[in-house]
């Protein structure tokens, strides 16, 4: 009976995933895509309609044959809350099951009260955005968290952040699971934004893609064959901590001359601040209200965009160092698309200059079809990516374990059959 129950749940998951990806789709269309028996499809679709997980949306447009009733996912049958945070602000968003925004809240991050204060603010923001969107807590399917630092290999603990010094060894997933009693996914905000850009933004579902995040820190996310590379300890993509300058400035990681320490947002602010204090003239001081200690890296970008000479010189060095670092990443991973943080687009011609440097430094075979694009999503990108990852888990098809007595010769044949029926999980299909 247990095996029968597992098969039913698996087949339901197959139908839900097919409708989510290809809907509106008819029962006949589901059969064509899954090869499940028509009788099984009819029975399970009735149950899914009864449980309000699917909706009938009218007949198909078929002028030459019998019109079929189309099915689509009931996007309001559940909700997902996603929270992205950093050293400046917190963004909390409620999504339906098609990743449409139902409610959004943005507020400054409270760092004055340390770990407890920030954790309590994150919990309150999630609850507040649910209340704002009128979400029944019983319909909550999961919570996604986009964290500003490193997370552990199990996605349980926020290990450390280079922008929030006190944020160390925080069991954030456990804290949220205890409060909301639903599955919680913890991901780095760079990877979360990369997932969103690949699935809903500039990546256009590219199988091989690099996403560059630029702020006080600098990181990349890497997709290879459609798979997000994480590394043995969840640290893949720490581009900002690659060594680029002998005798360079100290980095928060303890080394000297890291890319982040040379051209990260804080490094730009420090360089402009030092130049102004030494008597240099720059529009960046006006943008900072005449206070050198208030200069930020983003103000340097803004001043360069308006033609400020000193800021433009600084940004030329940013282009050179960043272009060289990206060229190394392109040589290592051979992406088809490089998506660059659109905030860097404030400087005219920045993307073209980066592309020129990379093409000059890599093999022609690596650059002949390589595309460079700016990111397209806004402040909700990190939250959206975390929500999309939760959805992938929610709609994941349950694993079918092969019998222990099956021979090695039989296993590949059986796996092909399961794959063709859509009965392998996402991670299993990637291994195929």
Question: Given pLDDT bands bounded at 50, 70 and 90, which one contains residue 432?
Answer: very low
152-210: pLDDT as tens digits: 878 889 998 888 989 999 999 999 999 999 999 999 999 999 999 999 999 999 999 99
**Angle formed by the axes of helices 265-277 and 309-333, nearest 10°:** 150
Query: Does residue 413 have a pLDDT over 80?
Result: no
Question: Shortest CA distance to 198 belongs to which of 186, 208, 184?
Answer: 208
The radius of gyration of the chain's CA atoms, rounded to the nearest angstrom, is 25
| Res 228: pLDDT | 94
Helices (runs of H) and strands (runs of E) counted in the chain: 16, 15
Question: Given pLDDT bands bounded at 50, 70 and 90, which one contains residue 234?
Answer: confident
Delineate the domains of the chain, giving CATH numbers in brackets: 1-74 (1.10.10.10), 79-195+381-391 (3.30.420.40), 207-374 (3.30.420.40), 405-432 (no CATH)
| Res 5: pLDDT | 78
| Res 418: pLDDT | 45
User: CA-CA distance, 118 to 129, in Å (whole number)?
Assistant: 16
Per-residue CA distances from 324 to 260, 354, 372 (Å): 13, 9, 15
| Res 7: pLDDT | 83
387-399: pLDDT as tens digits: 999 998 888 876 5
| Res 30: pLDDT | 92
46-69: pLDDT as tens digits: 999 999 999 998 887 665 556 688
pLDDT-wise least confident of 38-42, 292-296, 332-336, 419-423: 419-423
| Res 161: pLDDT | 87
Which tokens hold the place of 289?
A: 């209200």
Tell me the mean pLDDT in the region 10-19: 90
Q: What is the mean pLDDT of the chain?
A: 89
Question: Given pLDDT bands bounded at 50, 70 and 90, which one contains residue 430?
Answer: very low
| Res 64: pLDDT | 55
Query: Does residue 241 have a pLDDT over 60?
Result: yes
Query: Does residue 416 have a pLDDT over 80?
Result: no
Per-residue CA distances from 134 to 8, 80, 130, 137 (Å): 33, 13, 6, 9
145-159: pLDDT as tens digits: 999 988 987 888 999
């Amino acid at each position: 009976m247990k095996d029968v129950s597992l098969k039913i749940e698996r087949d339901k998951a197959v139908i839900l995933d097919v409708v989510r990806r290809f809907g509106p789709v008819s029962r006949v269309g589901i059969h064509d895509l899954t090869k499940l028996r028509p009788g099984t499809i009819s029975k399970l679709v009735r149950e899914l309609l009864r449980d309000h997980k699917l909706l009938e949306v009218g007949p198909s447009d078929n002028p030459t044959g019998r019109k079929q009733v189309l099915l689509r996912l009931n996007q309001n049958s559940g909700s997902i809350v996603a929270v992205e945070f950093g050293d400046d602000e917190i963004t909390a968003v409620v999504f339906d099951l098609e990743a449409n925004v139902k409610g959004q809240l943005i507020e400054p991050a409270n760092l004055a009260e340390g770990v407890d204060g920030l954790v309590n603010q994150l919990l309150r923001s999630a609850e507040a955005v649910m209340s704002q969107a009128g979400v029944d807590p019983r319909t909550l399917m999961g919570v996604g968290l986009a964290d500003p630092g490193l997370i552990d290999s199990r996605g349980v603990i926020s290990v450390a952040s280079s922008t929030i010094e006190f944020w160390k060894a925080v069991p954030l997933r456990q804290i949220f699971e205890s409060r909301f009693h639903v599955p919680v996914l913890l991901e780095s905000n760079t990877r979360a934004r990369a997932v969103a850009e690949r699935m809903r933004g500039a990546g256009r579902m590219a199988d091989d893609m690099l996403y560059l995040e630029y702020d006080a820190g600098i990181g990349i996310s890497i997709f290879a064959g459609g798979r997000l590379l994480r590394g043995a300890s969840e640290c893949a993509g720490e581009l900002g901590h690659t060594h680029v300058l002998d005798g360079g400035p100290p980095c928060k990681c303890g080394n000297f001359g890291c890319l982040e320490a040379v051209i990260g947002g804080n490094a730009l602010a420090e360089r402009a601040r030092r130049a102004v204090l030494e008597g240099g003239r720059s529009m960046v001081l006006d943008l900072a209200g005449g206070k050198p200690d208030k200069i930020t890296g983003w103000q340097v970008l803004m001043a360069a965009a308006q033609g400020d000479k000193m800021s433009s010189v600084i940004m030329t060095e940013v282009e050179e160092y960043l272009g060289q670092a990206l060229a190394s990443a392109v040589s290592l991973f051979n992406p088809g698309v490089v998506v660059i943080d659109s905030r860097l687009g404030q400087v005219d011609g920045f993307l073209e200059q980066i592309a020129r440097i990379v093409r000059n430094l890599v093999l022609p075979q690596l650059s002949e079809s390589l595309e460079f694009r700016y990111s397209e999503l806004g402040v909700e990108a990190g939250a959206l990516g975390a929500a999309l990852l939760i959805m992938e888990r929610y709609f994941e098809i349950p694993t079918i374990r092969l019998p222990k007595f099956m021979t090695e010769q039989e296993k590949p044949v059986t796996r092909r059959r399961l794959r063709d029926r859509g009965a392998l999980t996402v991670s299993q299909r990637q291994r195929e």
